[in-house]
Structure 1
């Protein structure tokens, strides 16, 4: 149970959620992630370090650049489900129920 709570605490930050969503389909370096999530590279690096320690993201070195990717699909699925749950607090008929194929939430 304690590890489960730690996973949720890692996801309890808007910047980290945006990073996870940005990495769901691509492997990216810090500067690209910083642009996507609209934060400084230093801030994104700190969040990535926490996600890496939690084994939510993995790295790959290419020369002097470090690329980040999700370790597996579970963090992305948790974030998506949490966003769908949040939609329920806004509407009794949320958009993901009306769509033939519910879209994965966007980074923004």
Structure 2
């Protein structure tokens, strides 16, 4: 979570690593990606506003689960929803945007 916060504040070092790992991704493409993440608040919006970057909530997971079941990507009869996740690792992270 700290990495996302740091990257969005000053992406220079992260961009250098991205460019090194993927030389085909140019600076303009990386800049576009960052702009879109900021514009749509993909990292800092939603529940992150109040609970911190990377927060996962049961309602959000349930919504995703329901979509996956509806589209037959998960067989709900084989694995109960409550056994598919834990909130223990992120509930107290508290890295605010």
Q: TM-score range by the shorter chain?
A: 0.3 to 0.5
Choose between structure 1 and 2 for higher RCO, CA contacts under 8 A separated by at least 6 residues: 2
Q: Could you tell me the TM-score, scaled by structure 2's length?
A: 0.35
Larger strand proportion of the pair: 1
Specify the structure having the higher radius of gyration (Cα): 2
Q: Could you tell me the TM-score, scaled by structure 1's length?
A: 0.33
